[in-house]
Amino acid sequence: MLMPERVKWRKQHRIRTKGIATRGNKLSFGDFGLKAIEPGWITSRQIEAARLPLTQVSHKSGKMWIRIFPDRPVTKKPAETRMGGGKGDPEFWTAIVKPGRILFELEGIPEKEAIRALQLAQDKLPIKTKIVKREV
């Protein structure tokens, strides 16, 4: 699973997902992509689950890019713990996604296969997304 090798601070504040993505909102590498329509957190497990159908299709001839990285830790306190005692321990890593952000890109695959693979990846993600195509 994706996670940073090393971080300066183990625990971070939660940030807002308000607004639209100003970076990473255009296709940069591939011909087809998956674009976020709503804001949310995507965990490293969800990225991995969405990556699997894309790699199965692009393994033969195409190429795939993952445009998000889970670099924010999410902490949780144990169940039935009293209040106080500080912040909980890091449980998992998330990528914060704003509307308009490109999540995955594909290249070198026929259009039908690429759209089918991106639809399978869409089903694995917790946010609404749409499939975008490069304009020539």
Q: Are 73 and 63 in contact (CB under 8 A)?
A: no
pLDDT of residue 61: 84
pLDDT of residue 1: 87
- Reply yes or no on domain 45-74+90-133 having CATH 3.90.1170.10: yes
Q: Per residue of the chain (136 residues), what is the pLDDT tens digit?
A: 899 999 999 999 998 889 999 999 999 999 999 999 999 999 999 999 999 999 998 887 899 999 999 999 999 999 999 999 999 999 999 999 999 999 999 999 999 999 999 999 999 999 999 999 998 7
Could you please report the per-residue DSSP string of 49-100?
HHHHHHHHHHTSS-EEEE-----EEEEEPPTT--S-S---EEEEEEEEE-TT
- Residue spans per domain, the chain: 45-74+90-133
pLDDT of residue 135: 85
This prediction's pTM: 0.92
